[in-house]
Structure formats: structure tokens, C-alpha cells
């Protein structure tokens, strides 16, 4: 008996199906190799970049430049997402030493005699006979407002100069303590030409609705928040249009006829004297400030930051800009992603919030 081996020959259809399966397996293996290479490249790149960033961070925090280290730490401190970064290579005690600023004298009293308001009888504005014309700042269209682009170092910003201070007021949302409003909404509500963000607000973990102001807050003589001491200073106008900067209680404001007040700080300039740098510990970030010249003109300033075209400025930089424009009194306002300026129907600065839009705010300095 012989063993006969019968060879099976696949049909053309089966051969085609087998070939397709083989081709598919080859494609899967090829895709897997490509994916592995891409994934390996990405992982390697992330590792290299991560190591480079850690190395750079180490050089900044442990390197030979204490001023660079301090600026970096304070810049990170003024953000929500990156507060943890300085603690990677610095101890808590080292960070505390960097963060501690000298405490400013809280007995500051604004000398109103330094502000010479425009005459109501003559109809003069702050521009008349002032140094604004000497600086090339002329109200060409006669609307009482001068708009100026600011270039300071590697940062860009904008200045609104309102010649008549009585046009400036503090805007508030419809329901105080509820939801805040954007600058555009404030402008619509009050039929205002423009303005800037103002005081700080309770914003736990970045989820605040903008309706709960922080620090002393007075609008048209009504006190909406009397939290004294929780901020680094207040700024407000009396009934004549003179800007007061200092550390105020509600009673202080009543005595001095200060009817519109918001809070944040620090105070930048008081009675013509710049605040010493030891009181102005800060990083480089977007900033908002308000000030007033001796001729009564109100200075509204925003500086862009955290962006390629504009890194941002420090408190000391704000002092220098405000002094250059003749401020007698000036105060820093809420900054960071809250920094915004609205003028003639549009936002003029590049807002650094995550969505690039104006945040809901508890109040704003606006003008009609």
C-alpha cells in the first residue's frame, strides 16, 4: 500500500484573497513601524525639550543673576497655571525671601492742591496751556480724548488721555455680586466711549464670575465692598474729578468726598513722587494702570504681555511710563488676563485671556 500525497491547489479567488490578506498584514506592519518611529521621535523630542527647559529653569533659578531669578519667580507668581514652577528648584524659604516686599506706608494722603482742574467757566480742557502739546499729544478731533500707542522696551501698550476728569466714572454690573460684565457691555450700558478694567475680584482657581469685587469698592457714593487691607492700594475720584490714591476705609472716603473707588494696587506715584522700587516687587506681565496729571487729565494705560509681540512690564516700568506722561498720582489696577482697553466700539489691545476675549469684570473705569 502506498501513501499518496494529494496537493491542494487554491482557486484563483482564494489566491487573490490570500494575497490581499498578506498585503494588509504588510501594510499594518509598515504603519506600525511608521507609528513607532513617529512616537519614538515625539517622545525623544519631548524628553530633549523637557530636559532643555529644566536646564534653563535651573540656570534661571540657580544661576548667577539674582535679578533674573526674582523677576522670573514673581512673573510665575502672578499667573494661575504656573505658580508651581518656581518651587521646582527653589525651597519654600528661598521663595519666601524673594516674594517678600517692603511694606509701604499706609498713611498716604493725596494733596489735591497739586491738581489744577480745568476752569468750568472758561470751558478750558487740560490740554490748554499744558505740556501735552509740548509732548506732541494734541486733541486733533476735538473730542477731549487723546489715544496714544505705547512702545516700552519689548512691550506694546496703549494710553487714553481724557482731558476732562469729570467724564470718568466707575461702571458696575447690573447685579452686583452676581455676574460681571465685559468692557463692551459696560460701554453699551452707560453709553460710554471707552475705558479700561479696574479693580480686582474674587477669582478662586480662575472660575470667578467677576461679580464679587475685592477690596474697598464705592460707586456713586454707595459702598459695595468695604474690605480694607486685602489689596495693596485703592484709587478713586472725588466729586470734583481729582484722583486719590492710598489705603482707604469707607469712612476716609466719606471725609474726603471720594465717591468712586476701586482697589488693587500697588500705588505707583503719590503726590508726584514715584514709589520706591523696594515696594514694587513684581514680574513681567500684562498691566493696567490709571493716573492723573497736574492739569487734571486722566491717564488710562494698558500694556500687553504673555505674548510674542509683547512680553509685558513690571510695576517699575508702569511708574516710568506714567512719569513720562506727567502723572502726579497713579495706581496699578488688576492685570494679567483681565487687562483690557475698549475705545470707539472695539478692543484696542491684545487680551491675554485663554480665549483672547475680555473677561467678566466687577467694575471698570469708563468715560462718556
Overall average pLDDT of the 330-352 stretch: 96
Task: Find where cell 496729571 sits.
Answer: 293
Give the span between the Cα atoms of 154 and 51, in whole angstroms. Answer: 28
Measured between alpha carbons, how far is residue 210 from residues 195, 230, 363 in Å?
A: 17, 17, 9
pLDDT 10s digits, 200-239: 988 765 556 777 899 999 999 999 999 887 888 999 999 9
pLDDT exceeds cutoff 80 at 199:
yes
pLDDT exceeds cutoff 70 at 306:
yes
pLDDT exceeds cutoff 60 at 329:
yes
Q: Sign of torsion, CA 196 202 205 209?
A: negative
Per-residue confidence at 29, pLDDT binned at 50, 70, 90?
A: confident
pLDDT 10s digits, 254-303: 999 999 999 999 999 999 999 998 889 888 999 999 999 999 999 999 99
Q: What is the pLDDT of residue 32?
A: 73
Residues sharing a CB contact under 8 Å with residue 338, sequence separation 6 or more, in sequence order: 197, 288, 353, 359, 361
**Whole-structure pTM over 0.85, yes or no?**
no
Give the span between the Cα atoms of 170 and 266, in whole angstroms. Answer: 19
Burial class, 235, CB count within 10 angstroms (exposed 0-12 / middle 13-18 / buried 19+): buried
Q: Report the range out of 101-115, 133-147, 166-180, 292-306 with the highest average pLDDT.
A: 292-306
pLDDT exceeds cutoff 60 at 124:
no
Q: What is the pLDDT of residue 153?
A: 93
Name the DSSP class of 130: S
Amino acid at each position: 500500500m502506498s501513501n499518496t500525497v494529494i496537493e491542494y491547489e487554491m482557486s484563483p479567488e482564494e489566491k487573490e484573497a490570500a494575497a490581499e490578506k498578506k498585503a494588509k498584514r504588510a501594510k499594518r506592519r509598515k504603519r506600525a513601524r511608521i507609528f513607532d518611529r513617529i512616537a519614538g521621535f515625539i517622545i525623544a523630542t519631548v524628553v530633549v525639550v523637557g530636559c532643555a527647559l529644566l536646564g534653563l529653569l535651573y540656570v534661571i533659578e540657580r544661576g548667577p543673576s539674582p535679578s533674573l531669578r526674582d523677576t522670573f519667580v514673581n512673573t510665575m507668581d502672578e499667573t494661575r497655571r504656573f505658580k508651581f514652577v518656581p518651587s521646582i528648584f527653589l525651597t519654600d524659604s528661598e521663595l519666601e525671601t524673594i516674594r517678600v516686599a517692603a511694606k509701604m506706608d499706609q498713611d498716604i494722603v493725596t494733596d489735591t492742591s497739586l491738581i489744577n482742574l480745568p476752569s468750568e467757566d472758561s470751558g478750558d480742557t487740560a490740554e490748554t496751556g499744558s505740556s501735552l502739546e509740548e509732548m506732541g499729544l494734541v486733541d486733533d478731533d476735538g473730542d477731549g480724548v487723546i489715544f496714544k500707542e505705547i512702545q516700552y522696551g519689548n512691550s506694546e501698550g496703549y494710553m487714553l488721555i481724557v482731558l476732562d476728569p469729570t467724564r470718568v466714572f466707575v461702571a458696575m454690573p447690573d447685579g452686583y455680586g452676581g455676574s460681571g460684565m465685559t468692557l463692551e457691555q459696560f460701554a453699551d450700558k452707560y453709553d460710554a466711549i471707552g475705558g479700561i478694567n479696574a479693580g480686582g475680584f474674587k477669582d478662586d482657581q480662575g472660575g470667578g464670575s467677576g461679580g464679587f469685587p475685592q477690596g474697598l469698592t464705592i460707586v456713586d457714593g454707595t459702598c459695595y465692598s468695604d474690605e480694607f487691607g486685602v489689596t495693596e492700594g485703592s484709587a478713586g475720584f472725588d466729586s470734583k474729578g481729582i484722583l486719590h490714591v492710598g489705603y482707604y476705609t469707607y469712612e476716609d472716603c466719606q471725609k474726603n468726598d471720594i465717591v468712586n473707588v476701586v482697589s488693587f494696587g500697588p500705588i505707583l506715584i503719590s503726590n508726584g513722587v514715584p514709589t520706591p522700587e523696594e515696594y514694587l516687587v513684581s514680574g513681567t506681565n500684562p498691566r493696567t494702570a490709571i493716573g492723573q496729571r497736574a492739569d487734571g487729565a486722566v491717564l488710562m494705560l494698558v500694556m500687553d504681555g504673555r505674548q510674542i509681540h509683547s512680553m509685558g512690564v513690571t510695576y517699575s516700568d508702569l511708574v516710568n511710563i506714567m512719569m513720562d506722561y506727567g502723572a502726579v498720582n497713579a495706581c496699578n489696577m488688576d492685570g494679567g488676563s483681565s487687562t483690557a482697553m475698549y475705545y470707539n466700539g472695539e478692543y484696542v489691545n491684545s487680551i491675554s485671556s485663554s480665549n483672547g476675549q475680555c473677561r467678566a469684570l466687577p467694575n471698570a473705569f469708563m468715560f462718556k
